[in-house]
Amino acid sequence: MANTPASILKDVFGYDSFRPQQHEVIENILKRRDTLAIMPTGGGKSLCYQVPALLFNGLTVVVSPLIALMKDQVEQMHASGVPALFINSTLSAEAYQENMGYVRRGETRLLYLAPETLLTPRILDLLAEVTVDCFAIDEAHCISEWGHDFRPEYRQLVEARKRFPKAVCLALTATATQRVRDDIRKSLGMSTVNEFIGSFNRPNLYIEVTPKRDPAIQTMKFLGRFKEQSGIIYCFSRRQVDELTLYLKNKGLSVRPYHAGLQDDERRRNQESFIRDDAQIIVATIAFGMGINKPNVRFVIHYDLPKSLENYYQEIGRAGRDGLAAHCLLLYNYSDAIKLKALLKQKEDKERLIAEKHLDAMVRYAEEQSVCRRVPILNYFGEVYKEHPCHNCDNCEAPPPTIEDITVPAQKFLSCVKRTGERFGATHVIDVLRGSKKEKVLKFEHEKLTTFGIGTELTQKQWMHLARQLLQMGYLQQEEEYHTLSLTTKASEALRMRSLISGQLQEPEEKALPGANKDELEYNHALFALLRARRKELADQAGVPPYVIFPDRTLIEMSTYFPQSPQSLLDITGVGKVKASQYGETFLELIHTYCQKHNILEPTSQPSKTGKSTRSSAPAKQTGMSPRLEMIAECFNQGTSLAGMAEKFEVTQATILNNLLKYVEEGGALQNLAELESQVSAGAMSQLSVHTAFDELGLEFLKPVYERMNGTVNYEDLKILRVIHACR
């Protein structure tokens, strides 16, 4: 049977379906139409030329500015049995000659080149001897002076293209501005204008912003939930990177620093240990990330405020490239914004104005507490995001904050700023309001002011929060060096007109951690650990990063479906034919031994076993529901108790309930409601009121229902009743 894009995808790469845009781009390339593909980081751009490369008879030349990534890609290709190689300045003279020989004899499908290498006569002559079917230009925005990484060599690529007029051209980038796009097409002399723009939404990223209070402790707490999982922590300065690295190291964590102040080889070593899973965490300035392809980054923490939404999104985009859930946390406080603003003062006027605009957008985003995080981000990239609540950001998960009338305390604060002569910072103003007898207050005789001691009703923290809001709303301005506050005309106006001011009196609590709605991450952890250790051994033996052997998703699916035959192994995502024959036996053996020891049977509802691409026809895929969810529901419907379920699936009962709820919401039916009802401790009357409350308040959040019931029905009951309610 002739190969098709879909069969290559499954047999070689072990994937069941294309990601959005991939299929269209590939078809277009196969029809030899020049194409510009714009997809976010982690969107899966590489497959767009790797699949056609295996369908063309001739050679595919991939131009990439990142030498480090070439080696990585070539290793990944080899692991899947694809003949690929690179030629660049890192090769020895012999290796260079050897690789040229492979190309000349037509023994490779993909050739990765740096732009300057492609333009050398030696390589141009070599390519003239063979058939070049496709030029793939990765990071194509480097061609544009309007882009952020302009590379003059990219400008000359059109010369190379002219020499091979029959080769189709595919330009790929994650930068979407119209200007850069036009530039790419023009500079490459593209004959057609086929553009494919993927959505920039990355649904698997959980996006969260939390007030930055005690960042080191907050970070430690966060890391407690990501034991042994890879992640990046971005800091603003080198000093901060070094300090935090030391702090985390002292806490016993496996962590390395990365910034421009380190020696080249130390930086490289640190990056390498992160990529190879030898170090769990990398603490870095923004310099880190361009050259890495690590798919299993499970979290990104922004320890300091990024300068723009574009930087921020690019940085969090490095999480979860493998499509599995990943968590992005930004620690935010307003003084970070002030620090950044002060630094901008050194810039030229025009540049400064633009930078300020970017920073303001970033601050607005960080302070936003009611709109889905994805709305402003995607809007920034010119996309209208309508599918909110996305259920995967803090604002969609938590009820919106209570906005109240804060006119009186705001007036008190503003007047006190005025009475103290607009010469002091917030701390002193608050001391006066709260009637403090501190030396500084007495020294300036501020205990004699009419505003002295009129603000005892709020805590110091609440006043501080109020001051920040007044700054943000433009009632106050702050001098940079000494942070002294003064009134704006807006404030004088508000005081004179007694206008209403709304805001929050309570500083927002740190948001509750997201619920366990990521059912894809619920798998047998003990087996996963075994598989992962084996993968690391194999990777070290082969001298490649672990993900080259198998991505995490593959090991997770193995620990979910327990495949025990070569055939069912091929149904697991990421297992192509070559990898199955190379590593299948060793992994099957581990799974088999583990299952025997723990009496686990290969479940019947796992992906279909009848061979090629049939997974797409398995019932789970038809409904779009995850197979795991179906498995859980099936087990429950067969009469297993909640406790039994939790034990069997090695998760909490709350997780089981979340899964059942999701199952019902996605259209499934539960037959074992009696089991749920028997677990509720609240009386019949209370249950009735809870159902009424669910009717009125919806099922999304439990807190409002809990409050409506004045706390008389506990959360355990509410979680069960919510599932029952959803079944009605």
* Per-position b or e across 692-727, b if 16+ CB within 10 A of its CB: ebbeebebeebeebbebbeeebeeebbbbbbbbbbe
409 binds, among Zn ion, ligand ADP, none (CB under 5 to 8 A by kind): none
Residue keyed to tokens 């030696």: 122
Interface residues with ligand ADP (CB under 6 A)?
A: 15, 18-19, 22, 39, 41-47, 293, 295, 321-323, 551
Q: Residue 547 or residue 649: which is nearer to ligand ADP going by CB?
A: 547
Residue 73 identity: Q
The tokens describing 230, both together, are 């890879």
551 binds, among Zn ion, ligand ADP, none (CB under 5 to 8 A by kind): ligand ADP
* Per-position b or e across 431-467, b if 16+ CB within 10 A of its CB: bbbbebeeeebeebebeebebbebbeebeeebbbbbb
Q: Residue 275 or residue 651: which is nearer to ligand ADP going by CB?
A: 275
- Of 123-131, 164-172, 386-394, 533-541, the window that binds Zn ion (rule: CB under 5 A) is 386-394
DSSP one-letter code for 164? -
Q: Name the packing angle between helices 67-79 and 577-597 (round to 10°).
A: 70
Cβ 295 to ligand ADP shortest distance, Å: 4
Q: Interface with Zn ion includes 209 (CB under 5 A)? A: no
372 binds, among ligand ADP, Zn ion, none (CB under 5 to 8 A by kind): Zn ion
Judged by phi (left if over 0) then psi (alpha if -120 to 50, else beta), residue 61 lies in beta
Q: Interface with Zn ion includes 396 (CB under 5 A)? A: yes
Cβ 390 to Zn ion shortest distance, Å: 3
Total number of residues that touch Zn ion (CB under 5 A) = 4
Please choose, from the candidates 266, 312, 305, the residue with its C-alpha nearest in 3D space to the C-alpha of residue 289.
Answer: 312
Give phi and psi for 368, each to the nearest 5: -65, 130
- Of 100-108, 392-400, 560-568, 695-703, the window that binds Zn ion (rule: CB under 5 A) is 392-400
18 binds, among Zn ion, ligand ADP, none (CB under 5 to 8 A by kind): ligand ADP
Rounded Cα distance, 562 and 588, in Å = 9
231 binds, among Zn ion, ligand ADP, none (CB under 5 to 8 A by kind): none
Q: Residue 203 or residue 453: which is nearer to ligand ADP going by CB?
A: 203
Helix (H) or strand (E) holding 686: helix 684-697
Cβ 211 to Zn ion shortest distance, Å: 19
Q: Name the packing angle between helices 642-649 and 627-637 (round to 10°).
A: 140
Q: Residue 207 or residue 430: which is nearer to Zn ion going by CB?
A: 207
- Of 366-374, 416-424, 585-593, 701-709, the window that binds Zn ion (rule: CB under 5 A) is 366-374
What value, to the nearest 5°, has the Cα angle with vertex 692 and ends 688 and 698? 135
Name the burial class of residue 498, with classes exposed (0-12), middle (13-18) and buried (19+) by CB atoms within 10 angstroms of its CB.
exposed
Q: Which of 53, 66, 390, 556 binds Zn ion (CB under 5 A)?
A: 390
Q: Interface with Zn ion includes 372 (CB under 5 A)? A: yes
Q: What is the contact mask toward Zn ion in residues 25 to 54, using x (rule: CB under 5 A)?
A: ------------------------------
Name the burial class of residue 157, with classes exposed (0-12), middle (13-18) and buried (19+) by CB atoms within 10 angstroms of its CB.
buried
- Of 10-18, 308-316, 395-403, 511-519, the window that binds Zn ion (rule: CB under 5 A) is 395-403
Q: Interface with Zn ion includes 375 (CB under 5 A)? A: no
Rounded Cα distance, 648 and 632, in Å = 10
Q: Residue 143 or residue 635: which is nearer to ligand ADP going by CB?
A: 143
393 binds, among ligand ADP, Zn ion, none (CB under 5 to 8 A by kind): Zn ion
Q: Residue with the closest Cβ to ligand ADP?
A: 44
Q: Residue 39 or residue 396: which is nearer to Zn ion going by CB?
A: 396
In DSSP notation, 595-655 reads HHHTTPPPPTTSSP-SSTTGGGGSHHHHHT--HHHHHHHHHHHTT--HHHHHHHHTS-HHH
Residue keyed to tokens 């009419």: 450
390 binds, among ligand ADP, Zn ion, none (CB under 5 to 8 A by kind): Zn ion
Q: Residue 181 or residue 302: which is nearer to Zn ion going by CB?
A: 302
133 binds, among Zn ion, ligand ADP, none (CB under 5 to 8 A by kind): none
Tell whether omega for the bond before 704 is within 30 degrees of 0, i.e. cis. no
Cβ 608 to ligand ADP shortest distance, Å: 18
314 binds, among Zn ion, ligand ADP, none (CB under 5 to 8 A by kind): none
Cβ 296 to ligand ADP shortest distance, Å: 9
Q: Interface with Zn ion includes 110 (CB under 5 A)? A: no
46 binds, among Zn ion, ligand ADP, none (CB under 5 to 8 A by kind): ligand ADP
The tokens describing 65, both together, are 């500015």
Q: Which of 61, 167, 393, 494 binds Zn ion (CB under 5 A)?
A: 393
Distance of CA 635 to CAs 360, 522, 571, 628, Å? 51, 15, 22, 11
Q: Which residues bind Zn ion (CB under 5 A)?
A: 372, 390, 393, 396
